[in-house]
Chain A
Amino acid sequence: MKPNFKREVSNWGNFPVVEKEIRSEDSLAKIQEFVRTNHEIIARGNGRCYGDASLAENIFSTKRLNKFISFDRLNGIIECESGVLLSDVLEVIIPQGYFLFVTPGTKFITVGGAIASDVHGKNHHMEGCFSEYVLEFSLLNENSEVLICSPTQNSEKFWATIGGMGLSGIILSAKFKLKNIETSYIRQESIKAENLDEIFQLFDESETWTYNVAWIDCLQKGENLGRSILMRGEHAFKHQLPKNLQNNPLNMEKKISPTVPFYFPGFVLNNLAVKLFNFFYFKKQTKKVVKNIVHYETFFYPLDIVNHWNRIYGKKGFIQYQMVLPKSNGKEGMKKILETIAESGNGSFLAVLKLFGKHNEAAYNSFPFEGYTLALDFKINSKLKKLVESLDQIVEQYGGRIYLTKDSMSKPSLVNYLKNVNNSKFVSLQSKRIHNG
């Protein structure tokens, strides 16, 4: 038997699917050799980006770089290899009274991926991106050298790698700061908004809340355009918990997660289903405002409860379309985007709206900038390309851009905003697609 490292591989959207070589090593010498002897390499973590960002001719999987290195329990600083999942980090830090400063909507991404995508969360307006809390990381560059990068050491490489989509090298390990928590629960308020104006107003009013996010029913038209529910939250203090939870305030919930066992047939998730889901989701909350205490898992990672939820979109897969529009004209642009989607009849099962705060000037490759961001899921179908084209046009007109981590078919001019990452060693299918046309 001769080793054959070629495999069918796709990321979370199951689109595109390609047959490429995947290698995984845990010894530095072997990783260095792999980089020396191959070209067109990209590092891949848990494959939770949606499109083709972590696909390349030669994929280096960081799944064996899964060890913790150190944990300064006094100062809340943790160091681990790049393939460690955020879910593993949470398992270690929560019982010690710490939480991640920034987390995206899934905990099943790797630390390396969090840096390469410079992920943002529901607290971007207050606490910025993941990179704000990264103290240093080690990077294997195109010459197979290991560089320690921080804002003061190899700072050029540091900032190029933040949000750099793996194009500057392979992140091997990282050290980052954690935030103190008293409990593993969130004090949450859900507020219904009947239309776009109301939800924007709610966002403005909620500026002082640490976490803000709105679920939006994007099939509504006319008066109801932008009908949504805003969820805002704060880490709960111990005294705010109900008595029965106070005994174990840093509780890690152990739920048995259901798994979607196979790819659903294409017809299951049709527009009617999306409409019904959105209708019931909105009507489920009968009061205008609901205040409650929820576990962090429910607040931050509602979708993680179902393993392989991506399979409900069928074998052909789906895309996630996430854009940001500037604050100055973003409301108007967002309205146009929602109108275009409603008219196209191409419903999004899950649409999430957020207000980004000011971006860190130093992190020039990061996706977020101050303004409005909307993330939408679309099932792959024959009409999708056209819809993406019209959405791209609006985003361009309003001076916005697309999140590279989720992109798989947007206009190159909306996704080629990365600087200082070009070298022939680290190339992804995404970077090739963007640069070739």
Chain B
Amino acid sequence: MIVLGSNSEVAQAFVEKLLKSGEKHSKIFLFTSNRETTEKFAKHLEVKYVQQSEIIDLDLLISIDYSSLEHINSNLLFCATGFLGMGTEEGLYDNRNTQNIIDVNYAKLVPVLNYFADKMERKRTGTMIVLSSVAGDRGRQSNFIYGSAKAGLTAYLSGLRNYLFDKKVHVLTIKPGFMATKMTEGFPLNPKLTATPKQAADGIYQAYKNKRNTAYVLPIWGFIMLIIRNIPEFIFKKLKL
């Protein structure tokens, strides 16, 4: 198994869910920009599940040496890489912030995903599970730079799914709504709309097992986004969302 963004609590919960349900992986490749924290997770997997793993440094803001990834092969990839950055109010005209959001969520991520898609295509098997965002469903004034990068990612995944379909590789797009993670700690999120990492992992696991194409972590988000997507633009532009 390949995990991109191994420090994400959702990614970690998903890996645990998978191992708990008895799926065996000879090795888990943990890609991370924070080796220290990921080492803790690797030890945890070793103690709790007698699971071997390998840590691979990946910082999407620095150039990637693909030659070091040659030995990595797996028929399951989970990608939770993401960067929220500053929202519109603080960060819109901060070009560095904008660049980082675009790079981590789309521009520099897509080549990495392509690299592994290519490997799966050649082996004609595999599943890629990638976390996009409800923010990509429609640009809203509060965080549309992030939203637009995620929209790009969602469109990429849709195309990739289409392209890989007859090559026996499945692509699953996950759109988490609010999640109670380090990223959102302290924000006043409505508990009914907020998933814990464990809930998210359970939902993603179900979607994976059912070979879904796209899935919201909590089903209610499907409904919310249906409404948001369908508000006419002349009304939408006046809303403070």
Contacts and interface: CB of A to CB of B under 8 A. Distances in A.
27 contacts: A1-B87, A1-B188, A3-B186, A4-B187, A4-B188, A5-B185, A5-B186, A23-B185, A24-B182, A24-B185, A26-B37, A26-B40, A64-B182, A67-B40, A67-B41, A67-B43, A67-B44, A69-B40, A69-B44, A70-B43, A70-B47, A78-B47, A80-B47, A81-B40, A88-B48, A91-B48, A92-B47
Given A5-B186, A67-B41, 9 more contacts: A4-B186, A5-B185, A23-B185, A24-B185, A26-B182, A27-B36, A67-B43, A68-B44, A70-B47
A67 B6 CA distance: 14
Interface string A57-89: 000000010011111000000101100000010
B47 A71 contact: yes
B85 to A, nearest CB: 13
Interface residues of B, number: 15
A68 B48 contact: yes
Interface of A: 1, 3-5, 23-27, 64, 67-71, 78, 80-81, 88, 91-92
Contacts of A24: 182, 185
B188 to A, nearest CB: 6
Contacts of A70: 43, 47
Contact of B43 (A25, A68, A78, A88): A68
Contacts, number: 45
B48 A92 contact: yes
Contacts of A5: 185-186
A220 B16 CA distance: 49
Interface string B182-193: 100111100000
B47 A69 contact: yes
Given A67-B41, A69-B47, A92-B48, A3 B182 contact: no
Nearest to A64: B182
Interface in B170-197: 182, 185-188
Contacts of A64: 9, 182
A107 to B, nearest CB: 16
B100 to A, nearest CB: 19
A64 B41 CA distance: 12
The 8 closest A-B CB pairs, nearest first, are A3-B186, A68-B47, A67-B44, A71-B47, A5-B186, A68-B44, A67-B40, A68-B48
Contacts of B47: 68-71, 78, 80, 92
A3 B187 CA distance: 5
Interface in B130-187: 182, 185-187
Contacts of B187: 1, 3-4
Contacts of A92: 47-48
A69 B37 contact: no
Interface in B5-55: 9, 36-37, 40-41, 43-44, 47-48
A91 B47 CA distance: 11
A173 to B, nearest CB: 10
A4 B186 CA distance: 5
B185 A3 contact: yes
Nearest to A92: B48
Contacts of B182: 24-26, 64
Contacts of B186: 3-5, 23
Contacts of A3: 185-187
